[in-house]
Amino acid sequence: MNKFLAGVDVGATQTKVAILDLKGHILLKDNFSTQMHRKNALIDAVSDLLDSLSRRLRLKKRDFLGLGIGVPGLLDFKRGLVFYFINIPAWKNVPLKKLLEKKTGLPTFVDNDVKVMARGEVTYGAGRGYDNVICLTLGTGVGGAVIIDGKMRRGQDLVAGEIGHVPINEKGPRCNCGGIGCIEAYVGREYFLKEVKKDIRRGVRTSVLAISNNRIADITPEMLTKAALGGDRYALNKWREMGEHLGVALTGVVNLLNPELIIIGGGIAGAGDLVFRPLRETLKKRAMAIQGRTAKVVRAKLGNDAGVIGAAELVKINLLKKIS
């Protein structure tokens, strides 16, 4: 009997819902606006979209093994309890597992979005076959996941993996987390763009201004990538700096944990080699000999699908107990 999996990825802007087979292939997927379906409306929208996708594939509820969902926020993945959602303020201590199980009738498993992405990459993407892996997502924040000896490591309170909050300078910018000099305070999207906008307002020469149609407030990382690929010195330099900062943070992680692979995903990773080259150079130059030689830095492979693929994998892990 063929069984199927439901994978859900709650993003800042879109919530993706997919139906997958047991090998992690996406059969059908669709999405809706996260911001327009907050709180209980999110539960309903997930369930409705899953029903509609199921109908199109002529699947019944009994054809599903279960539902996995990744959410941005702090949570207890064992109980499926979300302490808070990063993008849905005032929805706190949500028993997401219970709510979704009641609504969909499917066994449901919940995890943090970065952990879910990492699981997707390790099972089907860039990390296939690797046992010691560090995952990073570069976006508004810098998320992380630590896989050691084949297992996702959670730490004492299930909050391990905060690579974004490894400091790279004792006296650095203050970070939203309350810390000082965290890598996120250098390379997080908003921190990064704030510096760029400040530079441009001060009159730095760069084609980014023209690319943004002189609307400084609308500048995006993609515009910096475009400028850099066109040879813009300022933009090239900003990406190089980002790579170097990341290289320093990863030097500490690599010396400490001796991983074989570092997978980097998220929107900012779209700058590609503009960031990856200086990052690899910095790591090679600064990390200890053996650790630095071993640690390969690669880009995430599953792209936007990593979330739903990893979420679906949660179901297999929990119900089939093949891996943990």
Do residues 200 and 216 touch, judged by C-beta distance below 8 A?
yes
- Other Cβ atoms within 10 Å of 26 Cβ, number: 17
Which lies closer to a copy of itself via its Cβ, residue 59 or residue 283? 283
> Does position 163 bind a copy of itself by CB under 8 A?
yes
Helix axes 40-56, 96-104, angle to 10 degrees: 40
**For residues 266, 268, 272 and 278, what is the CA-based torsion angle, rounded to 10 degrees?**
-120
Query: Which residue shows structure tokens 């905060």?
Result: 162
Closest CB 167 distance from a copy of itself, rounded Å: 6
Among positions 290-309, residues that touch a copy of itself (CB under 8 A) are: 290-291, 294
- CA 160, 309, 33, 263 dihedral sign is positive
Where does this chain touch a copy of itself (CB under 8 A) — which range of 7-15, 37-45, 140-148, 189-197? 140-148
> Does position 144 bind a copy of itself by CB under 8 A?
yes
Q: What string of DSSP letters covers 39-55?
A: THHHHHHHHHHHHHHHH
Among positions 119-138, residues that touch a copy of itself (CB under 8 A) are: 131-132
Q: Which of 97, 165, 238, 240 binds a copy of itself (CB under 8 A)?
A: 165
Among positions 212-241, residues that touch a copy of itself (CB under 8 A) are: none
> Does position 244 bind a copy of itself by CB under 8 A?
yes
> Does position 157 bind a copy of itself by CB under 8 A?
yes
Q: Which of 36, 41, 210, 256 binds a copy of itself (CB under 8 A)?
A: 256
Sheet of 4-10, strands arranged across: 26-33, 14-21, 4-10, 64-71, 108-112
Q: Which of 87, 169, 220, 237 binds a copy of itself (CB under 8 A)?
A: 169
> Does position 76 bind a copy of itself by CB under 8 A?
no
Closest CB 118 distance from a copy of itself, rounded Å: 14
Which lies closer to a copy of itself via its Cβ, residue 20 or residue 185? 185
The Cα–Cα gap between 68 and 106 comes to 10
Fill in the amino acid letter for 2: N
Q: Which of 25, 55, 151, 205 binds a copy of itself (CB under 8 A)?
A: 151
- CA 56, 61, 66, 67 dihedral sign is positive
Question: Which structure tokens are listed for 174?
Answer: 């203050």
Q: Residue numbers of the site for a copy of itself (CB under 8 A)? A: 131-132, 144, 146, 148-149, 151, 153-163, 165-170, 177-182, 244-245, 248-249, 251-253, 255-260, 286-291, 294
